[in-house]
Structure 1
Amino acid sequence: MENVKEETLVIDCSIEKALDVIGSKWSFLILRELFGGTKRFSELQRAIKGVSPKALTNALRHMEENEIVIRKVYPTVPAKVEYSLTDKGQDLHKIIKEMKLWGAKWG
């Protein structure tokens, strides 16, 4: 019985760690957009209804710090900035797809 408790704790910690890496609810919506390819900040803002520039910036920074998103700045005036997923970020696609299916079924 004690082994089951230890295994449950490990699973719970792994889920908590994954959620911490992903971040806020906005992160899920950013992922949804970036699964379709590289996007600029303004494209993300238009696609994600209700997100403020500050919330979008914070979510993107969090995802960049956790190596989910790559931010590429082009030396133009005005500066062109693009966001894309790392391999680690692409690896979330299966998980997000399953959450979408679950939400459609039970939401």
Structure 2
Amino acid sequence: MEVPEVCPRFERAVDILSKRWTTLILHQLLPGPQRFAAIEGSLRNLSGKVLSDRLKELEEEGIVTRTVYPEKPVRIEYSLTDKGAELAPILDQIQHWATRWIQLSPEEDRLPS
């Protein structure tokens, strides 16, 4: 049986999305723009440095946009671009699959999501 070759674009997409925290950050941005502290606060155990790195990477890929509002103090919000928003059905399907098939330990089930 011949093994099909992986499409380079698919491989690149998986490489982008498989970095630790990336899909959780994207899922957090689905409802709309959020400030850095809100994203950081919603994801347990995510350090500010890693969040900053992931947001920069996603911005470079054109998946997330960073908007600076010239206020005092300066307000910065992150949101999905059209490219990023097209991931919504995929993330929704992962959520659906997880709800159906992933079992949590009693300890995990008590933690806030």
* Alignment partner of 1:34 is 2:29: yes
Partner residue, 1:9: 5
SS of 2:45's partner is coil
TM-score by length of 2: 0.79
C-alpha displacement at 1:46, in angstroms? 1.0
Within the candidate set 48, 63, 67, 1:53 is matched to 48
> What is the letter of the counterpart of residue 9 of structure 1?
E
TM-score by length of 1: 0.83
Within the candidate set 53, 60, 66, 2:61 is matched to 66
C-alpha displacement at 1:9, in angstroms? 1.4
* Residues 69, 23 of structure 1: alpha-carbon distance in 2 compared, 3 angstrom cutoff: farther
Unpaired segments of 5 or more residues in structure 1? none
In the TM superposition, what whole-angstrom CA distance separates every residue of 1:23-58 from its partner, at most 9, and x where no partner exists?
A: 523111111111111000011111111100001001
Aligned pair count reads 102
Poorly superposed stretches of 4+, deviation over 4 Å: none
> What is the letter of the counterpart of residue 99 of structure 1?
I
The 8 Å contact of residues 23 and 63 in structure 1, kept in 2 or not, is answered as no
Unpaired segments of 5 or more residues in structure 2? 103-113
> What is the letter of the counterpart of residue 14 of structure 1?
R
Name the structure with the higher helix share: 1
SS of 1:20's partner is helix
SS of 2:21's partner is helix
Over the matched positions of the two proteins, sequence identity in percent amounts to 38
> What is the letter of the counterpart of residue 81 of structure 1?
I
